[in-house]
């Protein structure tokens, strides 16, 4: 057991090193936002979700609090038992409302949270049944597609896949199309995919969510450099980089960069990386969608757009795609 854990830790560290060197040796330089979420990054992201400017969390929370009975009804239109598979479950604070609504209907289902973080899964497995007595939790620790495949092999029940929190925004639209196509290939007729999208809106409001006054988003980005220092034996001086966020209302792409404030070099293990003054590292994309973009995504990936649930301001939508 401990050997397996050590091997996995080594594997993921090698992957982290590989992705980091690849990204910083590319032109233009980039890092992968999936590495934001170490223990400190998790904590900073919790702070982001509580920021005045970060409207996304409150908007999706409102949908879950006020419309989870309607979402449950949509799921139960087909009365057969099902597996509710949540990709990137986190602490399930939003999906808990939907789970409660589903339990109220006495539907037969298992809740299968999928997360790459082992401790997220252990936490949910431990704590959810206390909060929601009678809930059958089958945590799956691993990669989204591997775990979805495993879930389909474990039970022949119909599947309802949840992908909330605008996590799809961390993909380009082209990558989101491929992602949905792959999901579709793992699902069967009648199965559902529920995705949370952040919608295009006033550009100033979007930009403010990723460029907050208190500098929390800046700290979130710089934390990845600190993480690289501590885990990959590097020597970034985080005071020599500055966070820059941009939003393009035409494409709906919100992007975060770190700008090198000086000509400088950084070593990562044995490797030296040169930065020119004002050179950028592309850090994260947070893609915003028009309703027509969502229509197109559903069609392209072979789903039918079945139903949509909005918050009162129409900042956010949870959309049900049906196979």
Which residue ranges make up the site for ligand AVJ (CB under 6 A)?
48, 56, 165-167, 169-170, 210, 217, 220, 284, 286
User: Residue 122 carries which DSSP code?
Assistant: H
The CA distance from 57 to 196, in Å, is 11
Instruction: Give dist(CA 64, CA 41) in Å, integer.
Output: 25
Q: Are strands 109-115 and 280-287 parallel, antiparallel or unpaired?
A: unpaired
> Which residue number, 260 or 286, has a Cβ lying nearer to ligand AVJ?
286
Beta strands in the chain (DSSP E): 29-30, 82-87, 109-115, 140-141, 158-163, 192-198, 241-248, 253-260, 264-268, 271-275, 280-287, 304-310, 316-322
Query: Residue for token digits 């980005």?
Result: 221
CB of 167 to ligand AVJ, least distance (A): 5
Euclidean distance between CA atoms 255 and 83, whole angstroms: 35
Residue closer to ligand AVJ (CB basis): 10 or 46 = 46
SS3 for 307? Answer: strand
Instruction: Report whether 160 contacts 294 (CB < 8 A).
Output: no
Q: Least distance in Å: CB of 212 to ligand AVJ?
A: 9
We find the least distance from the C-beta atom of residue 220 to ligand AVJ, in angstroms, to be 6
Closer CB to ligand AVJ, 30 or 157, in the complex: 30
27 vs 280: CA distance, rounded Å: 10
φ/ψ (deg, to 5) at 132: -130, 80
Q: Give the Cα separation of 92 and 34 in Å (integer).
A: 19
Least distance CB 56 / ligand AVJ (angstroms): 6
| Nearest distance in Å: CB 169, ligand AVJ | 5
Nearer to ligand AVJ, 220 or 289 (CB): 220
Q: How far apart, in whole angstroms, are the C-alpha atoms of residue 162 and residue 87?
A: 6
Shortest Cβ contact with ligand AVJ: which residue? 286
Residue 259, both tokens:
């700008």
Q: Which tokens go with 250?
A: 């035409």
How big is the CA angle at 282 (ends 277 and 285), to the nearest 5 degrees? 150
CB of 165 to ligand AVJ, least distance (A): 5
Cβ closest to ligand AVJ, residue 76 vs residue 96:
96
Query: C-beta of 37: minimal distance to ligand AVJ in Å?
Result: 9
Q: Which is nearer to ligand AVJ, 82 or 144 (CB)?
A: 144
Pick the closer one to ligand AVJ by CB: 178 or 262. 178
Residue 281 CB contacts under 8 Å (≥ 6 apart), including other chains: 23, 24, 29, 30, 31, 241, 257, 258, 260
Q: Provide the minimum distance between the beta carbon of 63 and ligand AVJ in the complex, in angstroms, as a whole number.
A: 15
Task: Report in angstroms how near the CB of residue 187 gets to ligand AVJ at its nearest.
Answer: 23
Q: Which is nearer to ligand AVJ, 152 or 167 (CB)?
A: 167
166 or 317, CB closer to ligand AVJ? 166
């Amino acid at each position: 057991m401990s050997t397996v854990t050590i091997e996995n830790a080594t594997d993921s560290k090698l992957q982290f090193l590989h992705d980091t060197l690849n990204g910083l040796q590319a032109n233009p330089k980039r890092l992968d936002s999936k590495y934001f979420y170490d223990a400190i990054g998790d904590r900073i992201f919790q702070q982001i979700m509580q920021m005045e400017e970060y409207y996304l969390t409150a908007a999706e929370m409102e949908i879950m609090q006020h419309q989870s009975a309607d979402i449950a009804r949509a799921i139960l239109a087909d009365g057969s038992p099902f597996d509710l598979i949540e990709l990137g479950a986190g602490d399930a604070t939003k999906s808990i409302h939907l789970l409660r609504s589903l339990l109220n209907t006495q539907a037969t289902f298992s809740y299968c949270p999928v997360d790459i973080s082992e401790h997220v899964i252990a936490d949910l497995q431990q704590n959810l049944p206390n909060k929601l007595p009678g809930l059958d939790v089958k945590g799956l620790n691993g990669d989204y597609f591997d775990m979805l495949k495993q879930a389909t092999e474990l039970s022949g029940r119909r599947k309802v896949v949840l992908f909330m929190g605008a996590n799809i925004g961390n993909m380009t639209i082209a990558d989101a199309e491929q992602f949905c196509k792959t999901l579709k290939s793992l699902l069967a007729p009648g199965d559902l995919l529920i995705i949370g999208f952040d919608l295009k809106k006033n550009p100033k409001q979007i930009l403010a969510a990723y460029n907050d006054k208190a500098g929390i988003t800046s700290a979130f980005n710089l934390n990845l450099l600190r993480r690289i220092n501590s885990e990959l034996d590097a020597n970034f001086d985080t005071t020599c980089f500055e966070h820059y966020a941009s939003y393009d209302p035409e494409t709906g792409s919100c992007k975060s960069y770190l700008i090198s404030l000086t000509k400088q070099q950084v070593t990562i293990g044995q490797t030296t990386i040169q930065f020119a003054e004002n050179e950028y590292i592309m850090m994260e994309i947070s893609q915003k969608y028009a309703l027509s973009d969502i229509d197109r995504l559903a069609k392209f990936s072979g789903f039918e757009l079945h139903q949509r649930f909005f918050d009162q301001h129409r900042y956010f939508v949870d959309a049900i795609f049906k196979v």
